[in-house]
Structure 1
Amino acid sequence: MDSKLGCNPSYMWRSILWGREGIEVGSRWRIGDGKNVSIYHHRWLPRPSTLKPFSPPLLPSQSKIAILIDENGCWKEHLIRNNFLEDDADQILKLPLPKKPLEDQLVWSYDKRDQYQVKSGYYVALRLKLKDLPSSSSPNIGWWKFFWNLSLPSKIKLFYWRAFSNILSTYLNLHQRKIPVAPSCPVVALLTRINISRWWGVN
């Protein structure tokens, strides 16, 4: 998870790291003993978008969740109320803690069972792909929610999304990603020659 892109990455390696970004954005920590999770730097609150506290850092910046849990495995409500905004404090105190000491665990934040689902994974990937586009060119996210809920085969939904995002493995896209293929599709070239031949009456 800490690997770098490097100075001359292949298309495959860039794709793997792009996928890693989606996992990071869609994941959050389920709190156990709180020893491995940073209060201000990790994603751990079940809140859309940031998954992090909104509160200004009143505690040391590298503080772990463990300092907010007492020896009985309960939240230190007084400490939390004094160092977090009301909304953050309420969110933290609602989080269940294990009855027995357990390690913190990474879970998928976009599923009720905390398990990764392809549907929500592609939703996160779509958000990442469109985050740098101007708002006028971004599609209606509500429409995409409607689209993913349609009773269509998953492979058709996936093909439509890939076509819309221009990430189909066409000859042009492969050529632009430095894959050694011709930039033009041979089928299109053949059909073009056939049409030209018919136009000029050449057999």
Structure 2
Amino acid sequence: MWKSIWAVKATLTKGLCWRVGTGLNTSINGDAWIPNTVNFRLSTMINYMRNVKVNKLIDSNRLWKNELIKDTFAEEDAEIILRIPLARTPHDDFLIWGSESSSEFSVRSAYKLLQSSDENPRAYALQTIYRNFYKKLWTLHLPTKIKITIWRFS
């Protein structure tokens, strides 16, 4: 089981997104923090904001700095950023599972993420390449322990 988790680790981290609290630990360009976007990142990189944290976009009243955001980012990015809700009480930034509307991890959403990914086919290659073989194996009229042994060998 651990080998399987390790094999898909890089792909699963693509499902993680930072939920902005104070913004002190989340990088504008470097981290995934923008919901409903590709890989939860900006559509365009802002070079002069390479090492700037999200907290620079939040004012002392815990509101987004509208003018700064609209002047700095592409229109579509600015609109999405301004729609991100900020908590009234400051809290640390934390990771959520961005591939699910509930923000909670589920095997189903992880499976969908893996199926849509081209980068790590090894992690689920047996499932797609040998699908017909496994279907035939499980329909054979053999004792279950023999089917399981064949499945393990394969």
Smaller-chain TM-score bracket = 0.7 to 0.9
Q: Which residue identity does 2:70 align to in structure 1? A: R
**Contact residue 15 and residue 39 of structure 2 kept, 8 A:** no
Q: Which residue identity does 1:57 align to in structure 2? A: I
Asked if residue 122 in structure 1 is aligned to residue 111 in structure 2, the reply is: yes
Q: Which residue identity does 1:98 align to in structure 2? A: A
**Contact residue 59 and residue 83 of structure 1 kept, 8 A:** no
Q: Residue in 2 aligned with 1:164?
A: 128
Larger helix share, 1 or 2: 2
Q: Which residue identity does 2:39 align to in structure 1? A: T
Q: Residue in 2 aligned with 1:195?
A: none
Distance in 1, matches of 2:21 and 2:36, equals 18
Q: Using the TM superposition, give the Cα deviation of residue 165 of structure 1 relative to its aligned residue in structure 2, in angstroms.
A: 4.5
Asked if residue 27 in structure 1 is aligned to residue 16 in structure 2, the reply is: yes
Q: Using the TM superposition, give the Cα deviation of residue 127 of structure 1 relative to its aligned residue in structure 2, in angstroms.
A: 2.6
**Contact residue 32 and residue 102 of structure 1 kept, 8 A:** yes
Compared CA separation, residues 120 and 165, structure 1 to 2 (3 A): farther
Q: Residue in 1 aligned with 2:138?
A: none
Q: Using the TM superposition, give the Cα deviation of residue 12 of structure 1 relative to its aligned residue in structure 2, in angstroms.
A: 5.3
Q: Residue in 2 aligned with 1:106?
A: 95
Q: Which among 21, 25, 34 is matched to residue 45 of structure 1?
A: 34
Q: Residue in 2 aligned with 1:83?
A: 72
Distance in 2, matches of 1:163 and 1:77, equals 48
Compared CA separation, residues 21 and 56, structure 1 to 2 (3 A): closer
Most deviating of 16-25 and 59-68: 16-25
Distance in 1, matches of 2:31 and 2:78, equals 16
Distance in 1, matches of 2:66 and 2:48, equals 15
Q: Using the TM superposition, give the Cα deviation of residue 17 of structure 1 relative to its aligned residue in structure 2, in angstroms.
A: 3.2
4+ runs deviating over 4 angstroms: none
Q: With CA pairs under 8 Å and 6+ residues apart, which has the higher RCO, 1 or 2?
A: 2
Written as runs of structure 1 = structure 2, the 5 A alignment for 1:141-160 is none
Compared CA separation, residues 16 and 112, structure 1 to 2 (3 A): closer
Q: CA RMSD in A?
A: 2.8
Task: Please tell me whether Structure 1 or Structure 2 has the larger radius of gyration of its CA atoms.
Answer: 1
Q: Which residue identity does 1:163 align to in structure 2? A: Q
Q: Percent identity?
A: 27
Q: Which among 86, 91, 94 is matched to residue 83 of structure 2?
A: 94
SS in 1 for 2:38: coil
Question: What do residues 18-39 of structure 1 show as CA deviations (whole Å, max 9, x unaligned)?
Answer: 3321221111011100011110
